[in-house]
Structure 1
Amino acid sequence: MKTSWYKEPWAWLVFILPFSAVVAGIATLFIALDEPDPLVAGDYYKKGKAINMQVSKVKMAQKLGMRFELQMINNELVIKPTGIEKEFPVLNANFFHPTLAANDFYLALTPDGNGHFRHIFDEPVKGKWKLTLSSFENNWKIQQEVYLPQANFIELKPDPAQAN
């Protein structure tokens, strides 16, 4: 006696496996379309040209001998110029989080009586950050990865390899 195909367990196993792969693929497609990656740039050519311009700003910082030291203890950020005689009315400090763009922030720092740039945060700032220092005129730039908090002063100096 012959049984119908739908009563056979092996037939269901053969149908279920490809069907589950199709369902998983459709679910993955919906997830990918619903949450696009914010780190991918659509205008990559313009960004590439901007990177070349940024490298020239880093080279200008090297030529001018720009060097700073950074320390952060008890939510107080201190950035002090080292080895340069020039005084800055304002120092731009941009902090970029490596993965969460919503955590990025900008500080316009003015010097205290000693020429040090200070800022006190309300909440702790921790982890890995890409820090960009630039002048008010934005004609030079120093970019470096830093880990916060920092008990000791760390040197911030221009490095063309970091300019992107």
Structure 2
Amino acid sequence: MKTPWYKEPWAWFVFILPLSAVVAGITTVIIANTDADSLVVGDYYKKGKAINLELSKIKQAQKLGIEFALKLSNNELVIKPTGIEKQFPLLNVNFYHPTQQEKDFYLAMTADGNGNFRQTLDHDVRGKWRITISPFENHWKIQNTITLPQSDFIEITPKPLEAR
């Protein structure tokens, strides 16, 4: 007597392999469409033009001789000018986390009586960060990749990130 096909173990083995590939493919499509990567840029031409503009701002900072030293300890951020002897009324300081965009933050810092910029942070800042410093007028820019916290001052100089 012949057994029906659905009672044969090899028949189920043959069906399960393609079925698992179909399920894995559908799962992959669902994951790819629901968790979009926020780091992907849609308009590459405009982004390239913006990069060229940013590089010219870095070159302007190099030409002006602008440099800073940065320290973060006990949640107090201190940035002091170490390059040219110039006073800045306001600095725009951006912190970009390399992998978690929701952790990015911005500070508008004004100088104290000594010309240093101080800010007490209300949250813990640890790990690797990309920092950009620019004046209120935004005609130059300094960017650097740093690891925080830092108990000693570290140098922030106007070099493109690719040059490091």
Do the two structures share a fold, i.e. TM-score over 0.5?
yes
- Number of aligned residues: 163
Runs of 4+ in 1 over 6 A off after TM superposition: none
- The CA distance in 1 between the partners of 2:119 and 2:146, in whole Å, is 16
Paired with 2:100 and 2:161, the residues of 1 have a C-alpha distance of: 23
Identical-pair percentage: 66
TM-score calculated relative to the size of structure 1: 0.95
1:144 counterpart SS class? strand
- Equivalent residue for 1:84? 84
* Contiguous gaps of at least 5 residues in structure 1: none
Q: Deviations over 1:13-34 (max 9, x none)?
A: 0110110110111011111111
CA contact (8 A) 2:81 2:115 kept: yes
Structure-1 separation of matches of 2:135 and 2:155: 17
CA distance in 1, matches of 2:162, 2:140: 14
d(CA) in 2 for partners of 1:150, 1:82: 17
Are the counterparts in 2 of residues 69 and 79 from structure 1 also a CA contact under 8 Å?
A: yes
1:46-76 superposed Cα distances (whole Å, 9 cap, x missing partner): 1111000100000000000011000011000
Which string of whole-angstrom CA distances, capped at 9 and with x for unpartnered residues, describes residues 73-100 of structure 1? 1000000000311110001100011111
> Could you say which residue in structure 2 is the equivalent of 1:33?
33
- Equivalent residues in 2 for 1:1-150 (5 A)? 1-150=1-150
Task: Judge conservation of contact 1:143–1:162 (CA < 8 Å) in 2.
Answer: no
- Once residues 97 and 43 of structure 2 are traced to their aligned partners in structure 1, the CA distance between those partners, rounded to angstroms, is 21
Deviation at 1:2, TM superposition (A): 2.9
Matched residues in 1 for 2:162 and 2:80: separation? Answer: 20
1:99-146 deviations in Å (ceiling 9; x for gaps): 111111111100001000000012221111100000110000000011
Letter in 1 for 2:68: F
Structure 2 counterpart of 1:134, one-letter code: S
1:156 matches 2:148: no
Q: Aligned-pair distance for 1:161?
A: 4.0
Deviation of 1:4 (Å): 2.5
Aligned counterparts of 1:91 and 1:72: Cα–Cα separation in 2? 16
Alpha-carbon distance between aligned partners in 2 of 1:108 and 1:10, rounded to the nearest angstrom? 69
